[in-house]
Amino acid sequence: MIQDTCKSKTCTNLALEGLNDLKKGSQDITKYEIGNISQNDIAHIDKHINALSDKKCADAHNGASQVKVGGALLLTFALIFLSYF
């Protein structure tokens, strides 16, 4: 699921925002003793935040847009080339 999220910059940013809010909410719940969130749960959230913040994730959505643009340009040139023959 993380790899799919990394394919889109918008999805990555929204997921990071949501995970950071979830982490803050979890810490607030523990701080005010409303409930009990384990440090293991918070570490699990951190693991996902780190994965989405990683350079590999940024490269995935940057590369995806380049492939889309490159594919569109290739198709355009192919159609122009074929229209001359």
**Over the chain, what is the mean pLDDT?**
76
What pLDDT does 68 receive?
A: 54
What does the pLDDT average to over 23-49?
A: 80
What pLDDT does 67 receive?
A: 47
Q: How confident is the model at residue 35 (pLDDT cuts 50, 70, 90)?
A: low
Structure-token pair, residue 1: 């699921």
Model pTM score: 0.62
Checking if the pLDDT of 18 tops 60, the result is yes
